[in-house]
Structure 1
Amino acid sequence: MWTYRGRQSATSVVTNSSRRLARGNRPPATPWRRYYASNGINGSEQPVNSHWLRNSLGVAGAGTAAFLAYDYATSNRTPAESPLEKVADLSQSVEDLGSQFVQQKRSLKSPGVFVWGNNAYRVADPNSKESVVKTPRNFTYFEGQVLRDLKIGEESGAAITANGDLVQWGKGYSEQDFKPAKTLTGKNLTSLCTSTDRILALSSDGKVYSLPVAKEDQVSGRKPKEGSWVPFWSGTAGVSYRLLQPSLKLGERVTALSSGLDHALLLTSSGRVFSVASSTENYPSFGQLGVPGLTWATRPKGPVDTLHEVTELKGSKIVQIAAGDYHSLALDKDGNVFAFGDNSFGQLGMTFNPGSPFRDIPTQVPIKKLYRGPWLAKATRVAAGGANSFFTVDAQRTLAPREDPTTVRDLGRITADTWTCGRGIWGALGNGKWTHVQDALIKVKTLSGLFEYDERANSLSPIRIRDISVGTTHVSAVMDNKTHVDAAPTTSLDETNDWGFDALWWGGNENHQLGTGRRSNLSKPSYINAPPEGDDQQEARLQIMPRHKGKVDRKTVSMEQRVECGRHISAIYSTP
């Protein structure tokens, strides 16, 4: 089967031309060139023999006719493909296609973690004294392991192992021994988030643990008493932590966490949102808790990390939460987005007001107003980090008033777009511009309006974003493109008609967190290369492996890869 990918615009080109070329079984086309030459050193014109000119034109015409006949006989074009056949520079297509399989084979050998970026605090590579790691590097401690979750900051890193234990490393964790070490164990943890100086971890039974990042505080702090499965036996926890207990209904439990520098959001199974101060250094003061009038002076009596329900969201069932440094986002089941917190860079998607730089009441982001005419817009994902926000939107073509449905060819078709707002001085907006304040939602054109043709279904389907991770100054998006030539589900990637998800990177690169090997920032989403392995120096485009089966401790485990962008640092890890 032959598949292509292209944007909705007729003037855009397909970025992944290598796959189209291979599946069409066509040789790379030699680009036409027009030469301008002059006879004589000084470029003066010379008379031209008319017979020679007629003969040359005749030969050229015959050659052109032969070329067109050959191209028509060997092209195998379909009507849906022809508008997108004009692609720029196919000279590297075959080589790029081969490099995809090289990187795929490397990823299939063993699961693990690749980290790159700032290493001043020994987070990217605890065994190296380098200040930065320029390209993706294997993290030896996690070699051959799958992780339930991974978060990396500038000063420390934290991960949850396959059996639910918390592992920490970096100088932010320990100045003396900054190599990975297990801290909170035996809790069957599933996910985590980190703030300035604390870690929040969610267990499989819905409990939320809050513990300090620093090893010294974990050891010297108050350790709670813990029960045991042995009757009449109890003990003391190995590290200091607190249990955060929101006021839940019968059968309700916490299902997701997200944190900024000073605050965190908790999402429950019933769609309610709770916020909490998650730093011991600063109390949230930019409205990011979503509680009107709440400040350090007006906080209720009790612990500083008391949980507050965001009551302004009670009328909506929230299905996803996201937190930037000082702002918060919430997506409900109907595709509406609510934002609150700091708006100094327009990260709430609302007009910046110097007299009131933040909002402490959740306010609906005008997603539906982005489309004029017969379009029904619905947000499908939110992501936040630093002072930036991202929204993925499905826009469905509907009927306009007095419009005849028999004349509308794209009725019901869904176009998947990505919108953003916030600080773009490092290029994190991904729109090709360097903007200080972007307080109106703007489309990331490189990630919007993409389609792929599925001959099994005989139709075009939108290419959505599978995952997006937003760091302090940089961003990565993983595309949800088909990873098998006939779009059939597979659990093995050892065949030549399988490949990975496309991954793109952009934004700040001051600490080499984009993995390009250079320090220059990128204002548009771009591909990067996978690291060479051993004696194999062939460059391979980095892709994210979809779910497949691999070996972990001699056991066959189903796993996939994920991307994590942190504070001037990036990582890719395998997760079950």
Structure 2
Amino acid sequence: MDTTLTRRLAGAALLGTILVSPLGAADQAAAAPRHGFTPHPAVAWGSNLDGRLGDGTTQPRQTPVAVTGLLSVAQLGAGTGYGIALLANGTLRAWGDNERGPLGDGTETDHSTPGVVTGLDEVTAVAAGAVHALALRRDGTVWAWGDNSSGQLGLGVIDPNPQLTPVRVPGLTKVRAIFARDSYSMAMLADGTVLAWGNNSAGVLGNGTFGTDDPHPTPVRGLHGVRTIAAGSGHVLALRRDGTVLSWGANNFGQLGRGTVSQTPSPLPAPVEGLTGVAAIATGLRHSLALRKDGTVRSWGDNSAGELGVGVFGGVRDRPVTVRRLAGARAVAAGFDTSYALSRGDDHVVHAWGRDDTGQLGDGSTTGRALPVTIQTSLDAVAAVVAGNGFALAAG
């Protein structure tokens, strides 16, 4: 286990002087439970520090292995060093690094197999931040636990002491969807309003400012007609119902897709340049992905590890470009410096590209890829994939 929270957050990499922390992925290629949803087992691969793969060991895996005991997964999330699963019965299981309490079991003890998140049932969605987590219950309320040092639990206070078991976020009702990443959180209400709270060093709260954290859920300015959110490490995307995408936050690697690169965050939503017909979005450490309705994928931002999938390593792309050798995609996800897609044509496989130093691409090697490679899993049909720090999870 990492010895300090500072050491953990430093693992995100540096966005200039912007303080950001490692990502969760609950808002990526994972659907919330729905009527008729078929339960799924789960697999994991990549780094296994602190048991984040959930297979009962701390041994790294370069190809997918089963997460112990998970046979009815409805949704997955991945934090910095932990995994979390919503089961079909509305309860939660979590495993891996538990410093600051993201596993929600009342302790800060790591465990390498899934354990019960205390006191929650009737959960319909889960979202994983760096070292905090959110749960949406059937009654439209939101519950939070873990680190609160930036006010990311939405409790109205910034507290250096973690919350080790779930507590209700006050004042939040009629919530339709939740999102978490790094040290901030977001909620979409039934009326389409999007609220944000927590760390605002990169302007991700979308309130027109950056640098001042806010522990109170506050509306993101200028959003309407929003279908979903992708919360990234220092930047955010919003997919509108008309198939266009808005972005805000850090832009020092062109991750906002506006045709510019700037060391100054952009704290208000504005359109991603030239992007239409989008069906899904995903955000990584310093890059972004958009799945278009025609099954092609666009990428932009940092390409130092090949995470844009354009066939070369290095450089930035400040406007969306097409991921090569990938067609007929049906979902996208992003890890730190990695990208993933699911295929319409073969639902048994995962496509992956980008950094692979811990085996997080899952192709049996530790060789980074600037073009998509195909990963075979033991799953009958891959329904979801999410990624954290050097590891990935899939259910199907």
Class of the TM-score when normalised by the shorter of the 2 chains:
0.7 to 0.9
* Residue number in structure 2 paired with 1:563: 385
* Residue number in structure 2 paired with 1:388: 287
Give the AA of the match of 1:287. Answer: G
Query: What secondary structure is seen at the aligned counterpart in 2 of 1:151?
Result: strand
1:125, distance to aligned residue in structure 2 (A): 4.0
C-alpha deviations, 1:56-76, integer Å up to 9, x for none?
xxxxxxxxxxxxxxxxxxxxx
Structure 1 pair 353/387, CA: closer, same or farther in 2 (3 Å)? closer
Q: How does 1:221-232 map to 2 (within 5 A)?
A: none
| Alpha-carbon separation, structure 1, partners of 2:353 and 2:282 | 15
* Residue number in structure 1 paired with 2:215: 305
1:112 is matched with which residue: 27, 41, 44?
41
Structure 1 pair 310/202, CA: closer, same or farther in 2 (3 Å)? same
Structure 1 pair 111/502, CA: closer, same or farther in 2 (3 Å)? closer
| Alpha-carbon separation, structure 2, partners of 1:378 and 1:561 | 22
Structure 1 pair 276/257, CA: closer, same or farther in 2 (3 Å)? same
1:429, distance to aligned residue in structure 2 (A): 0.3
Give the AA of the match of 2:334. Answer: V
Q: How does 1:138-537 map to 2 (within 5 A)?
A: 138-142=66-70, 145-172=71-98, 173=103, 174-175=108-109, 177-212=111-146, 240-245=165-170, 253-277=174-198, 283-296=199-212, 304-313=214-223, 316-354=224-262, 356-367=263-274, 377-394=276-293, 415-447=294-326, 450=327, 463=328, 465-481=329-345, 500=347, 502-530=349-377
Which has the larger share of helix?
A: 1
The runs of at least 4 aligned residues of structure 1 exceeding 6 Å deviation read: none
* Greater relative contact order (Cα < 8 A, sep 6+): 2
Structure 1 pair 444/472, CA: closer, same or farther in 2 (3 Å)? same
Structure 1 pair 134/332, CA: closer, same or farther in 2 (3 Å)? same
Q: Conserved in 2, the CA contact under 8 Å of 1:254 and 1:266?
A: yes
Q: Conserved in 2, the CA contact under 8 Å of 1:502 and 1:544?
A: no
Q: Which runs of 5+ in 1 are unaligned?
A: 1-109, 215-220, 222-237, 278-282, 369-376, 395-414, 451-462, 482-498, 532-542, 546-559
Structure 1 pair 544/440, CA: closer, same or farther in 2 (3 Å)? farther
Q: Conserved in 2, the CA contact under 8 Å of 1:113 and 1:573?
A: yes
1:444, distance to aligned residue in structure 2 (A): 1.2
| Alpha-carbon separation, structure 2, partners of 1:353 and 1:186 | 43
Query: What secondary structure is seen at the aligned counterpart in 2 of 1:121?
Result: helix
* Residue number in structure 2 paired with 1:14: none
| Alpha-carbon separation, structure 1, partners of 2:271 and 2:44 | 36
Which has the larger share of strand?
A: 2
1:136 is matched with which residue: 34, 39, 64?
64
Q: Conserved in 2, the CA contact under 8 Å of 1:246 and 1:274?
A: no
Q: Conserved in 1, the CA contact under 8 Å of 2:92 and 2:120?
A: no
How well do the aligned residues superpose, as a CA RMSD in angstroms? 2.6
Give the AA of the match of 1:362. Answer: P
Q: Conserved in 2, the CA contact under 8 Å of 1:503 and 1:544?
A: no
Number of residue pairs matched by the alignment: 337
Give the AA of the match of 1:264. Answer: S
1:261, distance to aligned residue in structure 2 (A): 0.6
Q: Percent identity?
A: 23
1:378, distance to aligned residue in structure 2 (A): 2.4
1:205, distance to aligned residue in structure 2 (A): 1.8
* Residue number in structure 2 paired with 1:96: none
Structure 1 pair 198/420, CA: closer, same or farther in 2 (3 Å)? same
| Alpha-carbon separation, structure 2, partners of 1:380 and 1:213 | 32
Give the AA of the match of 1:519. Answer: T
Query: What secondary structure is seen at the aligned counterpart in 2 of 1:180?
Result: strand
Q: Which runs of 5+ in 2 are unaligned?
A: 1-38, 149-154, 156-162
Structure 1 pair 329/509, CA: closer, same or farther in 2 (3 Å)? same
1:126, distance to aligned residue in structure 2 (A): 4.9
1:111, distance to aligned residue in structure 2 (A): 4.6
Structure 1 pair 312/158, CA: closer, same or farther in 2 (3 Å)? same
Structure 1 pair 155/353, CA: closer, same or farther in 2 (3 Å)? closer
Query: What secondary structure is seen at the aligned counterpart in 1 of 2:205?
Result: coil
Q: Conserved in 1, the CA contact under 8 Å of 2:285 and 2:335?
A: yes
Larger radius of gyration: 1
1:202, distance to aligned residue in structure 2 (A): 1.0
C-alpha deviations, 1:126-167, integer Å up to 9, x for none?
52242x11211112222xx21122222342222222211222
